[in-house]
A and B are shown apart, each in its own frame.
Chain A
Amino acid sequence: MTEKLVIVGNGMAAGRLLEHLTETDPGRYDVTLFGAEPRVNYNRIMLSPVLAGEKRFEDILIHDEAWYRTNKVSLVSGRRIVGIDRAAKTVASEDGAVVSYDRLVLATGSDPVMIPLPGHDLPEVISFRDLDDVERMTAAAAKGGKAVVIGGGLLGLEAAAGLKGRGMDVTVLHLAPTLMERQLDPSAGYLLQKELESRGIRVITRANTKAIQGGRHVESVLLEDDTELDADLVVMAVGIRPNAALARSADLEVNRGVVVDDHMQTSDPDILAVGECVEHRGTCYGLVAPLYEMAKVAAARLCDDAEAAFVGAVTSTKLKVTGIDLFSAGDFAEGEDREEIVLRDASRSIYKRLVIEDDRIVGAVLYGDTSDGAWFFDLLKEKADVADLRETLIFGRAYSGGAPLDPMEAVAALPDSAEICGCNGVCKGDIVSAITGKNLSSLEDVRTHTKASNSCGSCTGLVEQLLSVSLGDAYDPAAVKPMCGCTELGHGEVRRLIVAKELKSIPAVMQELEWTTANGCAKCRPALNYYLIATWPGEYVDDQQSRFINERVHANIQRDGTYSVVPRMWGGVTNAQELRAIADVVDKFEIPTVKCTGGQRIDMLGVRKEDLPAVWSDLNAAGLVSGHAYGKALRTVKTCVGTDWCRFGTQDSTGLGIRIEKFMWGSWTPAKVKMAVSGCPRNCAEATCKDVGVVCVESGYEIQIGGAAGLDIKGTELLGKVDTEDDAFEVIVAVVQLYREQGWYLERIYKWMARVGLETVQAQVIEDLENRRALFDRFVFSQRYSQADPWEERIRGRDAHEFAPLADLTLKEAAE
């Protein structure tokens, strides 16, 4: 009979343990997993980027529901285990259920320490531990106001940066004289404080908090020296405490944490413990790398591997605040037999310090340039003799041993145990064996299979080099294709950094992201202009000179340098007055060709540029506005006549098409967006080859997405089916907004969908109603700044210089 394994706690250690277990011996146990949080397993260390708005919850999921199903793990979320009966070998949950086990793993993690100050129980005093905390902080930040963060350690500072990024006025209170004093020496602490202050975060060190004041809500924070700081939100991030209550109540041996031996075994041989709840050789750990190590050992133990042992770990730390590079590892207290090597470069705010004892590195602090962090950390862990490297050691790997080492050779020379990805604890050996064993060929593959480079991304370069080393010429780094020749960064990276670093102009992007050209090129400038306009609506000022000519003059350039003009015809419906106005314009300006477009519009071809404003003026007078046939924007919503006329029509397809078009016109998108609404499955509006299409049926609306009928021909896929027109409308707006936020410039919806996956799109706009509404609202907000008829603006004289020649020297010359 299969043995029963019960795991209590569904944090990162438990998640990793399950991964090892399902990989090594998938059928061995019948696994039941209890998680107190009402959700699946996620990457807790990435909560800071979620708070900062750089990632969403979906991005930091480790295992989704499907994973548990596939691996036959019964996940019981949102239910706490309250007791263990070691004699009967059962656990009991808070609702009274009793589950028996053969082997039990405790992975109960830790609790944030809440200092019992007066006022600590007010509703706006929160910790920074799980997704609920992040949601509370995000909600509080949305109201603006002032936040006080108590604790200037890793979590406190990440919380402070996140809240500041969300627009709050933030003060950090820290008891010690310098920030992060457990990981940083005073110099690095000072540089960090200066950097945070330059970002507008107030830092008070040596701050001893006396009380949190307020009646029913937080009003202020009072310090021992009677300084009073106004506060609407207080985040307490002063440390964590192993959560060993369950173990204690079961009379397992517990000190600060649950005591385990090198095999992660507690004082009861049938019970193992891993993660932050554990105390091993007198040490409790709060960083992820050692927890992963424990998970590996525990999994091996469960598979009867008697050899596997955890012998303690030296830890290293990185601060996950975008734009601050900081690394520390080991012990850097001064001592008699210790010497140090320090490098400072004030103009670049670089500080590096190595602490050496007996020719071995025992501590390292890097600020400003952390590229050698992994190398120093390896030397430290391996206790390598650095006597020969002493002279150039501080300059990093590139200078060790005289001639700069080729980065490829450097990576090739790393031992298999060298840690490549600190966030997810992935070593070189893991990555290389995954590449060769599973035939991986791209960065994305490696991310999927090993999690390396999947979190903060700072090891991406190393992972790519490993791909190169392992695959030779077979590795095509174009998998992360740069936007253009002006940068190494791909579209996704640039979009992410625009948000993360709050870059709000093209020069700011080029400066901060180190463009190699002075002002970009014809590929990157329009892309950046779009990203900025989509990310900062109402704030970013459109750069006309970064627009392709069609978008600059609101008409389509033709092969002979003339233009074509397409007025909007909402849903493809017109009338005699509009047609008459078009006919008059054609006569008056001697427009050579008039043609119907594929999207049910009338196209006037061969208009001289100088005539454009006058043509628009006449069309505007008849109520016709710009059709955006020239733009990376909503083009047309094609419709059939639906229930108005058609004997087969099931819904008012014309009406819905017009409604969508009137609501969405003017919004810029990564590439053109064509839509259609068909009134019945006969699909006369050809909705199933559009970017977004609706097929009306008797019972409601099928929303179709990701069709193409151009370079590629592709039928749409069903996004979802809804009952009412209002729901259809909301889903369509939301999905376009999602595309506006995630799409790469010139990437049509079908390509975006192939990249992110239809399921993730469905999860966000069909299943998650709140998220759908939020997307809808963001679209509405951005429309406030984009629904102005560009023709009308130019008739009034905007950008008049675009249309007239600067000078006419033809007559002058003739006269001379």
Chain B
Amino acid sequence: MNDRWHKIGHLHDIPPLGARCVLTPFGRIAVFRTADDALYALEDRCPHKDGPLSQGIVHDTSVTCPLHNAVIALASGEMSGPEGGRTRTFDVRVDPASQAVELSLEPRSAEFVRPDRPLAAAE
């Protein structure tokens, strides 16, 4: 299943605690890198009001959306808090030999879910 993986760049192209975007036929995917070099790929769209998650501040394994401070778990794409909401996640991996970053375009979670009520923590 080698076709499944698309080489998108090198690990050092993504700053630690940062993100880069990949343009795909399904829209933007944000690839995040944590402090300990774990990678996560999510649709670059906040469940709350479509904010570009790639532009947020990354902390531990979460990102805070730049528009209204929703916090999204990188692993599951789920918004923290009682409101619910989820963005789609994708598989991403690093080739241990070359440090090349490879992305799969098959969404792991198919559905994008809006929160069921207004964001309590919005500031």
Contacts and interface: CB of A to CB of B under 8 A. Distances in A.
Contacts of A522: 56-57, 59, 64, 69, 71
A813 B57 contact: no
A151 interface: no
Given A805-B23, A806-B22, A807-B8, A519 B17 contact: yes
Nearest to A553: B55
B82 interface: no
A807 B25 contact: no
A518 B52 contact: no
B95 interface: no
B16 A807 contact: no
Contacts of B13: 801, 806
A561 interface: yes
Interface string A803-816: 00111111011100
**Interface bin, chain A:** 20 to 34
Q: Give the one of A520, A557, A806 with max B CB within 10 A.
A: A806
B92 to A, nearest CB: 11
Interface string B33-75: 0010000000000000111100111111000101101010000
Q: Give the one of B17, B71, B105 with max A CB within 10 A.
A: B17
B22 A805 contact: yes
A737 B108 CA distance: 51
A518 B58 CA distance: 11
A809 B23 contact: yes
Contact of B20 (A544, A546, A553, A806): A806
B18 interface: yes
A271 B7 CA distance: 91
Given A545-B18, A801-B13, A807-B6, A559 B49 contact: yes
A519 to B, nearest CB: 5
Contacts of B25: 809-810, 813-814
Q: Give the one of B14, B50, B57, B103 with max A CB within 10 A.
A: B57
Contact of A544 (B6, B15, B51): B15
Contact of B59 (A521, A808, A810, A813): A521
A517 interface: yes
A97 B93 CA distance: 88
A544 B20 CA distance: 14
A512 B55 CA distance: 29
A548 interface: yes
Contact of A557 (B20, B22, B31, B55): B55
A545 B66 contact: no
Given A545-B58, A561-B52, A806 B31 contact: yes
Contacts of B21: 805-806
A428 interface: no
Contacts of B81: none
A16 interface: no
A487 to B, nearest CB: 13
Contacts, number: 92
B22 A807 contact: yes
B1 to A, nearest CB: 14
Interface in A777-816: 801, 805-810, 812-814
B64 A807 contact: no
B6 A549 contact: no
Interface in A123-145: none
B122 to A, nearest CB: 13
A806 B64 contact: no
Given A522-B56, A545-B16, A809 B105 contact: yes
A549 B59 contact: no
A549 B22 contact: no
Contacts of B31: 806
Contacts of A517: 59-60
Nearest to B68: A559
Q: Give the one of A517, A553, A810 with max B CB within 10 A.
A: A810
Nearest to B33: A545
A806 B9 contact: yes
Nearest to A507: B35
B57 A525 contact: yes
Q: Give the one of A520, A522, A544, A559 with max B CB within 10 A.
A: A522
A165 interface: no
Nearest to B45: A561
B24 interface: yes
B66 A518 contact: no
A153 interface: no
Interface in A512-559: 517-522, 525-526, 544-546, 548-550, 552-553, 557, 559
A722 to B, nearest CB: 38
A419 to B, nearest CB: 42
Interface string A546-579: 1011101100010111000000000000000000
Nearest to B60: A518
Contacts of A519: 17, 35, 59-60
A810 B55 contact: no
Interface string A489-519: 0000000000000000000000000000111
A525 B24 contact: no
B5 to A, nearest CB: 11
Nearest to A547: B57
Contacts of A520: 59
Nearest to A543: B17
B14 A806 contact: yes
A808 B57 CA distance: 23
17 contacts: A517-B59, A518-B59, A520-B59, A522-B59, A522-B69, A544-B18, A545-B16, A553-B55, A559-B49, A559-B67, A560-B50, A561-B50, A561-B52, A805-B23, A807-B6, A809-B8, A809-B22
Shortest 10 CB-CB contacts between residues of A and residues of B: A522-B64, A806-B20, A807-B8, A522-B57, A549-B55, A545-B17, A561-B52, A549-B66, A808-B23, A805-B21
Given A561-B50, A809-B25, 4 more contacts: A522-B59, A557-B55, A561-B55, A812-B6
